[in-house]
Amino acid sequence: MSFARQMLGATQRRAFSASARQASKVTVLGAAGGIGQPLSLLLKLNPRVSKLALYDIRLAPGVAADIGHINTKSEVKGYDATQSALHEALEGAEIVVIPAGVPRKPGMTRDDLFNTNASIVRDLAKATADAAPNAKVLIISNPVNSTVPITAEVFKSKGVYDPKKLFGVTTLDVVRASRFISELKGTDPSDEKITVVGGHSGATIVPLLSQSGYSLEGEKLDSYVHRVQFGGDEVVQAKGGAGSATLSMAMAGARFTESLLKASQGEKNVIEPTFVESHLYKDQGVTYFASNVELGPNGVEKIHPVGKLTAHEQGLLDACLKDLKGNIEKGVKFVKENP
């Protein structure tokens, strides 16, 4: 058995035969970055991926040459920074993952990235709408609360928007929430599944501990919630100006991509938290919201309601909705004013 195959679990090994039946091309835009490189590596190790297309404005062919030596079945191709190469990278993609854009430095909020990343995401969304209008699009670039609405507006303007196929990747919030509670409770983090709803920045990140049967009180609860809401800042501080979370994000992005592939390859009950166009708080003017979503062959199958909340969680949710509304409106306005 090959080394790469030995590294996979039994479930993943079984998926080798599934992948032989179904071809799935995944395209990564921003593939040479801090997230893009380890994410592309993890996707190369995933037997559900048959083709991996790596695009960036720099270094993508080099990253592809490197990853392409790994002895798993998928084909890897890197693309230069031209519009025709971008088009080719996108053509036929089932999934397009977008981690392109600049990361934070200490002292910045995710919203401070808007001015740079909004136009990067808008332009990549245009190219995706043209070359891969039916692809499932996964937005990692921050601020996710605004870059997802930006992508939706671009797809709408080109007449190809399908709300079931656009996802803001909020998996890392759930990964952190699970890890941080396990540190407090001495449990195995891989057994923890803490629901996190809302959006992906500061107060819009709302962990719902009570739904997992936990009841932290007072300062313990406040510091847990703060750590989940500002986990990204911990990494930004620790990296001291050299960027934000990349490796944990790559893991989270690879997990979300794998869940979409599982669902499209026929697996049932695949549920992930993700930021999507949502009916849950539409009556309050909040048109996108992250909650647990059941995934199916066409993307979003069912948006789960938020469920029962404690009074404390309701307070967090109210604060979240206020911020989120502004973030979403900012993204929509940007595309209207800068088409």
Ligand X SMILES: O=C([O-])CC(=O)C(=O)O
Ligand Y SMILES: NC(=O)C1=CN([C@@H]2O[C@H](COP(=O)(O)OP(=O)(O)OC[C@H]3O[C@@H](n4cnc5c(N)ncnc54)[C@H](O)[C@@H]3O)[C@@H](O)[C@H]2O)C=CC1
State in angstroms the smallest separation of the CB of 310 from ligand Y.
26
Binders of ligand X among residues 244 to 263 (CB under 6 A) are 244-245
Position 104 contacts ligand X (CB under 6 A): yes
33 is in an annotated binding site: yes
Q: Exposed/middle/buried for 9, CB within 10 Å: 0-12, 13-18, 19+? A: exposed
Q: First-to-last CA distance in the chain?
A: 52
127 is in an annotated binding site: no
56 is in an annotated binding site: yes
DSSP 305: P
Give the number of other CB atoms < 10 A from CB of residue 62: 13
Q: Exposed/middle/buried for 173, CB within 10 Å: 0-12, 13-18, 19+? A: buried
For ligand X, give the closer residue by CB, 112 or 162: 112
For ligand Y, give the closer residue by CB, 204 or 244: 244
Tell me the C-alpha distance between 316 and 225, whole Å.
Answer: 9
Position 172 contacts ligand X (CB under 6 A): yes
For ligand Y, give the closer residue by CB, 8 or 90: 90
CA dihedral 6, 9, 14, 15 (to 10 degrees): -100
Residue 101 binding target from ligand X, ligand Y, none, CB below 5 to 8 Å by type: ligand Y
For ligand X, give the closer residue by CB, 9 or 240: 240
Residue 236 binding target from ligand Y, ligand X, none, CB below 5 to 8 Å by type: ligand X
State in angstroms the smallest separation of the CB of 183 from ligand Y.
20
Position 274 contacts ligand X (CB under 6 A): no
Residue nearest to ligand Y (CB): 33
The verdict on whether 69 is a catalytic residue reads: no
Tell me the C-alpha distance between 91 and 76, whole Å.
Answer: 14
Q: Output the six-digit token pair for 287.
A: 């048109």
Position 142 contacts ligand X (CB under 6 A): yes
Residue 44 binding target from ligand Y, ligand X, none, CB below 5 to 8 Å by type: none
State in angstroms the smallest separation of the CB of 74 from ligand X.
27
State in angstroms the smallest separation of the CB of 232 from ligand X.
2
Please name the residue that has the structure tokens 């921050």: 142
Parallel, antiparallel, or unpaired: how do β-strands 95-98 and 25-29 relate?
parallel
Tell me the C-alpha distance between 211 and 269, whole Å.
Answer: 19
104 is in an annotated binding site: yes
Position 290 contacts ligand X (CB under 6 A): no
Q: Exposed/middle/buried for 338, CB within 10 Å: 0-12, 13-18, 19+? A: exposed
Residue 154 binding target from ligand X, ligand Y, none, CB below 5 to 8 Å by type: none
Q: Would you tell me which residues interact with ligand Y (CB under 6 A)?
A: 29-30, 32-36, 56-58, 99-104, 113, 117, 120, 124, 140-142, 144, 169, 172, 200, 243-246, 249
Tell me the C-alpha distance between 154 and 133, whole Å.
Answer: 11
* Torsion sign, CA atoms 123, 125, 127, 129: negative
CA-based R_g, the chain, Å: 19
326 is in an annotated binding site: no
Tell me the C-alpha distance between 64 and 54, whole Å.
Answer: 7
Kindly write out the interface string for residues 219-238 of this chain, putting x where it contacts ligand X by CB under 6 A and - elsewhere: -------------x--xx--
Q: Which of 69, 87, 200, 312 is catalytic?
A: 200
Annotated binding site: 30-36, 56, 104, 110, 117, 140-142, 176, 249
Which residues does the annotation mark as catalytic?
A: 200
